[in-house]
Amino acid sequence: MLDIERVRGKVERTNAIPTIPLVIRKIVKAVENPATSPAAVSRLVSSDPALTAKILKVINAAMYGFVARISSVNQAVVLLGMNVVRALLLGISMFEMMEQTTVGLWKHSLGCAIVARLLAQKKGIFDPEEASVAGLLHDIGKVVLSVQFPKEYQMAVTTARDRSMLLPDAETEIFSMTHAAAGAYFANTWRLPEFVVESIRHHHQPSATKAAPLHTATVHMADTLVKAYNVGFSGDTFVSAVHGYAWEVFDFSEAQMKEIFAEIGDTTAQVDDFFKNPKK
C-alpha cells in the first residue's frame, strides 16, 4: 500500500508532469490567476489552432449535445464564465495527455457530462452547463492517478476485475484513497469551482456534501446510468446502487428510466462518432 501523503503529494504536483505541452502549462498557469482577462486566455488558447479546435469540439459536445453553438474560445468564456472554462481546459488537457490509454474513460466522462446535463434539464434544478462540467471531470482522479502511478493504477483496475471488487475498494487498498479523493485534491490544488471539487469528491456518496448536493447527486445518477449502459469504460466493471438521496432528487419511474436510456442510446452513438472522427 502506498503512503497516503506520498500519493497526495504527487496528485497535487501534477503541474510538474513533463509530458504536458508548453501551451497547456501556460494556459493553466494563466487561468489560475484570477486577474487574467478572458481575452488573454482566448489569445493563449488560440495560439494553438489544433488545441482550439479540440477544445471547442469538446465544449460543444459535452455542453450542448453536439450542436455547435460555440465557435470561439472568447465566446466560450463569455457564455460559460472563466471558472468553467478553466476547469474545462484543465480537464481536457489531462484527458488529451493520455488519449491512447484512456479512450474508454474519456468516453465514459463525455457520456456522463451529456447525461448530467440531460438530468439537470429534466429536473430544471440548476444550470445544465454546470452539470456537464461536473460530469466531465468527476473521474479526473483516475486520470491523475494513472498519470502519476501508471503501474499501480493498472493494478487497481485488474484487481477490481479479477477479485470482483468495486474499483474504489481496490484503489483504497493500493493508494490509501479513492479516485474521488485524489480528484478532489487535484481540483482543489487548481482552485476549480467549489461545485466541481465537491461533486468530484462525493460522486459516490452524494449525501456527504453540504456545499453542492444537487450537482453531486446529478453526477452520481448520471455516472450510474452511463455505467449501466456501458458507454465507454470507467475502469469499474460493476454498477453500484444509487444512493437514497439521489433517488429522492430523481424519483424516476421505470417507464421514465426507459425513456432516459433511449436518450442515452442516442448519446452513445454520438460519443462513438466523436472519437471515430478525430479531425472533425
Partner 1 sequence: MLKISVESVEPGAVLAKPIVSDTGITLIAEGVEVSGPIKKRLASMGITEVFVTGKRVPGIPKEEFVANVNASFIKTEGDPRMDAMKRALLAHIEELY
Q: What H or E segment, with its residue span, contains residue 167?
A: helix 167-175
> What are the CA-CA distances from residue 206 to residues 23, 104, 175, 219 (Å)?
35, 24, 22, 9
Q: Does 239 bind partner 1 (CB under 8 A)?
A: yes
Q: What, of partner 1, Fe ion, none, does residue 255 touch, CB below 5 to 8 Å by kind? A: partner 1
Q: Does 79 bind partner 1 (CB under 8 A)?
A: no
Q: Does 53 bind partner 1 (CB under 8 A)?
A: no
CA–CA separation, 112 and 105 (whole Å)? 10
Cα-only R_g, the chain? 18
Q: Of the candidates 173, 175, 190, 174, which has an alpha carbon nearest to the alpha carbon of residue 137?
A: 190
Q: Does 279 bind partner 1 (CB under 8 A)?
A: no
Q: What, of partner 1, Fe ion, none, does residue 245 touch, CB below 5 to 8 Å by kind? A: none
Tally of CA atoms within 13 A in the half-sphere of 150 that contains its CB: 5
Q: Does 162 bind partner 1 (CB under 8 A)?
A: no
- Binder among 91, 227, 231, 249 for partner 1 (CB under 8 A): 227
Q: Does 224 bind Fe ion (CB under 5 A)?
A: no
Asked whether the beta carbons of 60 and 68 are under 8 A apart, the reply is yes
Q: Which stretch binds partner 1 (CB under 8 A): 31-39, 89-97, 109-117, 229-237?
A: 229-237
- Binder among 199, 209, 234, 268 for Fe ion (CB under 5 A): 234
110: CB partners within 8 A, 6+ apart: 58, 61, 62, 136, 232, 271, 274
Residues 138-167 that bind Fe ion (CB under 5 A): 139
95: CB partners within 8 A, 6+ apart: 102, 105, 106, 109, 143
Query: Least distance (Å) from Fe ion to the CB of residue 68?
Result: 26
CA–CA separation, 8 and 23 (whole Å)? 26
- The pattern of x and - marking residues 131 through 160 that bind partner 1 according to CB under 8 A reads ------------------------------
Q: Does 254 bind partner 1 (CB under 8 A)?
A: yes
Number of residues interacting with partner 1: please give it, by CB under 8 A. Answer: 33
How distant is the alpha carbon of residue 127 from its chain centre?
Answer: 17
> What are the CA-CA distances from residue 46 to residues 43, 74, 176 (Å)?
5, 9, 40
Query: Least distance (Å) from partner 1 to the CB of residue 191?
Result: 33
Q: What, of partner 1, Fe ion, none, does residue 66 touch, CB below 5 to 8 Å by kind? A: partner 1
Q: Does 277 bind partner 1 (CB under 8 A)?
A: yes
The contact set with Fe ion (CB under 5 A) reads 139, 223, 234
> Which residues contact partner 1 by CB under 8 A?
60, 66-68, 166, 224-225, 227-230, 237-242, 247, 254-255, 257-258, 260-262, 265-266, 269-270, 272-273, 277, 280
